[in-house]
């Protein structure tokens, strides 16, 4: 057993972090969120060139994918990164980033689709089937003010039966379950990145911000919040990486439990670090300008994608009593 990152894996993550910092800098993120079109097809193809969507068919595993997606989450890279990754082997052009694929996730009578008018295809996990939907076939109503400024959403006004009849089943059975598990895990990896970035931002702020003549990070009340953020993010990271191993080597653990656990723990971590990061920034945390709010908003958006913390907690409870 050697559950520690290899040098190659460290290099992969560092390369991705540098790429994200270079191509998705804060100034760029802040400028596109003021427009209706957040997705940039040139940058999306660059993500494709970096192997973000194809790395598993390039010989790497789910564990490497978690490292890459943690970095994407850290950098608040916008767009349906997970859905496009899942489509890589099913929809031509997804793997290299020439087609952008988002998710169709109906929930509680409302279907909110992120980036619906900017993407080429939608994926729908419809029971045992995976369906491909042409977004142009849907009646869509844009949400005026999306919660996540980097995640424009549209409401689908069509009934599910109608959507079903206008879509095509592109996979069924076991491969669908496996793709769904991968989707859960990669979303959890994004959440770890968000949690870690929120922690880093608050940590740096606490070192520089002075009140009562001292850096606020010298007060134990603040110190302890920072430590709790770090703990949440680090525990979630371990869970996500173990989930990657479980998907790659099905013998190690039950993949369904591993990925559900990772999503629940990472979802909680992202929300916790998001809100605590805002608190540590004080009044500035409540401004549009400071990224603390962006991490929290992304944490919310990711929590309700591929099953919420609540959904996965319940799923695990049921696994506890299975014979």
Partner 1 sequence: MDLRYTDEEEQFRTELRAWLESVLPDVGPTPDRSDWPARRAYDSRWQRTLHDAGYAGINWPRDYGGRGASPTEHLIFLEETERARAPYVGMNFVGLLHAGPTLVVEATPEQKEHHLPGILRGDHIWCQGFSEPSAGSDLASLRCRAVRDGDDYVVSGQKIWTSFAHVADYCEMLVRTDTDAPKHRGITWLIMPMDAPGIDVRPLRTMEGSTEFCEMYLDEVRIPVSNRVGNENDGWRVAMVTLSFERGTAFVSEMLDSMELCRELAELARKVTRRGGTAWDDLGLRRELGMLAAELDALWALTRRNISEATRTGLVGAGGNVFKLAYTDLRHRMGDLALRLLDRASLSLDDIGELPTGRHVQGRIHALSMSIAAGTSQVQKNIVAERLLGQPKERGWTSG
Cα 211–Cα 291–Cα 264 angle in degrees, nearest 5: 105
The residue (of 37 and 238) whose beta carbon lies closer to partner 1 is 238
- What tokens appear for 65 in the block? 């994918």
CB of 43 to partner 1, least distance (A): 29
User: How many Å apart are CA 255 and CA 264, to the nearest integer?
Assistant: 14
CB of 15 to partner 1, least distance (A): 17
Cβ atoms 121, 135 nearer than 8 A: yes
The residue (of 26 and 227) whose beta carbon lies closer to partner 1 is 227
Phi, psi of 274 (to 5 degrees): -60, -50
The residue (of 110 and 317) whose beta carbon lies closer to partner 1 is 317
CB of 212 to partner 1, least distance (A): 13
User: How many Å apart are CA 279 and CA 286, to the nearest integer?
Assistant: 8
CB of 77 to partner 1, least distance (A): 23
Cβ atoms 70, 252 nearer than 8 A: no
Q: What is the largest CA-CA distance in the chain?
A: 66
The residue (of 116 and 258) whose beta carbon lies closer to partner 1 is 258
CB of 237 to partner 1, least distance (A): 9
Q: Which residues bind partner 1 (CB under 8 A)?
A: 1-6, 9, 63, 203, 206-207, 214-215, 217-218, 220, 222-224, 226-228, 230-232, 234-236, 238-239, 241-242, 244-246, 249, 251-253, 257-258, 260-262, 264-265, 268, 309-310, 312-321
Q: Which H helix or E strand runs over 170? A: strand 168-172
The residue (of 107 and 218) whose beta carbon lies closer to partner 1 is 218
């Amino acid at each position: 057993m050697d559950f520690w990152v290899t040098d190659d894996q460290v290099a992969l993550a560092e390369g991705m972090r540098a790429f994200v910092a270079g191509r998705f800098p804060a100034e760029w993120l802040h400028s596109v969120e003021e427009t209706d079109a957040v997705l940039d097809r040139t940058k999306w193809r660059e993500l494709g060139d970096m192997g973000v969507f194809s790395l598993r068919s390039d010989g790497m595993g789910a564990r490497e994918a978690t490292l890459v997606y943690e970095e994407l989450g850290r950098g608040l890279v916008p767009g349906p990164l997970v859905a496009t990754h899942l489509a890589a082997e099913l929809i031509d052009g997804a793997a290299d980033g020439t087609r952008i694929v988002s998710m169709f996730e109906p929930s509680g009578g409302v279907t909110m689709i992120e980036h619906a008018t900017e993407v080429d295809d939608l994926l729908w996990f419809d029971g045992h089937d995976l369906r491909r939907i042409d977004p142009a076939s849907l009646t869509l109503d844009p949400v005026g003010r999306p919660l996540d400024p980097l995640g424009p959403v549209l409401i689908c006004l069509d009934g599910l039966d109608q959507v079903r009849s206008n879509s095509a089943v592109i996979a069924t059975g076991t491969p669908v379950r496996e793709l769904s598990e991968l989707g859960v895990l990669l979303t959890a990896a994004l959440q770890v990145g968000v949690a870690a970035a929120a922690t880093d931002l608050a940590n740096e702020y606490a070192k520089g911000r002075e009140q009562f003549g001292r850096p606020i990070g010298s007060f134990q009340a603040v110190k302890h919040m920072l430590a709790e953020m770090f703990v949440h993010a680090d525990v979630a990271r371990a869970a996500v990486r173990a989930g990657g191993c479980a998907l790659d080597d099905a013998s190690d653990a039950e993949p369904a439990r591993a990925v559900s656990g990772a999503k629940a723990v990472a979802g909680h971590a992202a929300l916790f670090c998001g809100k605590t990061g805002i608190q540590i920034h004080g009044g500035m945390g409540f401004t549009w300008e400071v990224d603390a709010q962006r991490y929290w908003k992304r944490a919310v958006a990711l929590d309700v994608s591929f099953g919420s913390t609540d959904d996965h907690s319940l799923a695990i409870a049921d696994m506890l009593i299975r014979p």
